[in-house]
């Protein structure tokens, strides 16, 4: 099924497109996103991965492997510190798979799942950065200045992009 569908090529292309869009959005809107009091980080790659699980749960895609590849590209190209997102992205995919076993995926439960995923991505990224001394921000400051605004931005993006992405997946399938 997966071998024959357009998804086989469409999915990785979408993945890379969203990865680069993350960087471009950060660059174009850097004045608004990276304020000192509130930092918003877009995680569109995660959105594309999660939507693949929400919409295409019947088709067996090598999602965790693609997530690891995306994490590796993210680490090498964007941050330059290897070994952070290469583990976080597959973990998020695994977590979402576990969650969809208990919650039937629709728009609202998808929002909830995405909320948990983004929290995980940001929190683990923060812990990793603390460990290698990239930041010395206190945990409470992280919650207020980074996690909160990032969640707000990404949930807004989820609401805006949920139906377009579903349309794309339907078209690819």
Partner 1 sequence: MQKFSFNRRLVIIIVCLIVSFALMTLSVAIRNKRSTPPLIQQFGNDIVGLADRVVALPANGLSGSVSSLSELLNTYQENQQLKKQVGELAQTKVRDQTLAKENKQLKKQIGLNASLTDYTAITAAVITRTPSSWQNQVVINKGSSAGVVKNMPVMSGSGLVGRIAEVNKTNSKVELITDNNDSANRFAVQITTKSGKTVNGVLSGFNANSGEITMNNLTTKAKISKGDKVVTSGLGGVTPKGLYVGQVAKSTGDDYGLSTKLYITPATDLSSLNIVTVAVTKQ
Which of 110-115's residues contact partners 24+ apart within 8 Å by CB, and which partners? Answer: 110/50, 110/51, 110/54, 110/158, 110/162, 111/155, 111/158, 111/159, 113/50, 113/54, 114/46, 114/47, 114/50, 114/154, 114/155, 114/158, 115/151, 115/155
Where does 29-106 have alpha helices with state H? 30-33, 44-55, 63-73, 85-102
Do residues 43 and 154 lie in contact, with contact meaning Cβ atoms separated by under 8 Å?
yes
Nearer to partner 1, 5 or 26 (CB): 26
Do residues 167 and 6 lie in contact, with contact meaning Cβ atoms separated by under 8 Å?
no
**Residue with token string 């990793």:** 128
Q: How many residues line the site for partner 1 (CB under 8 A)? A: 46
Contact map string, positions 33 to 72, toward partner 1, x by CB under 8 A: -xxxx-x-xxx-----------------------------
Q: Which of 58, 80, 101, 140 binds partner 1 (CB under 8 A)?
A: 80
Nearer to partner 1, 59 or 151 (CB): 151
Q: Does residue 102 touch partner 1 according to CB under 8 A?
A: no
Q: Does residue 76 touch partner 1 according to CB under 8 A?
A: yes
Q: Which of 5, 10, 26, 57 binds partner 1 (CB under 8 A)?
A: 26
Q: Does residue 119 touch partner 1 according to CB under 8 A?
A: no
Q: Give dist(CA 157, CA 36) in Å, integer.
A: 22
> Which residues 129-158 are close enough to bind partner 1 by CB under 8 A?
129, 131-136, 146, 150
**Residue with token string 């469409």:** 10
Residues that bind partner 1 (CB under 8 A): 16-17, 20-28, 30-31, 34-37, 39, 41-43, 73, 75-84, 86-87, 125-126, 128-129, 131-136, 146, 150
């Amino acid at each position: 099924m997966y071998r024959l569908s357009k998804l086989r090529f469409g999915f990785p292309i979408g993945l890379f497109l969203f990865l680069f869009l993350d960087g471009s959005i950060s660059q174009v809107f850097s004045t608004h996103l990276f304020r000192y009091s509130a930092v918003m980080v877009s995680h569109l790659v995660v959105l594309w991965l999660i939507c693949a699980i929400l919409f295409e749960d019947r088709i067996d895609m090598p999602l965790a492997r693609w997530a690891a590849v995306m994490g590796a590209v993210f680490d090498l190209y964007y941050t330059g510190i290897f070994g952070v997102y290469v583990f976080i992205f597959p973990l998020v995919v695994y977590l979402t798979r576990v969650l969809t076993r208990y919650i039937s995926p629709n728009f609202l439960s998808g929002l909830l799942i995405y909320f948990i995923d983004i929290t995980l991505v940001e929190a683990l990224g923060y812990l990793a950065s603390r460990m290698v001394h990239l930041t010395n921000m206190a945990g409470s400051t992280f919650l207020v200045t980074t996690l909160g605004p990032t969640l707000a931005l990404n949930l807004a993006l989820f609401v805006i992009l949920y139906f377009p992405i579903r349309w794309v997946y339907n078209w690819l399938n």
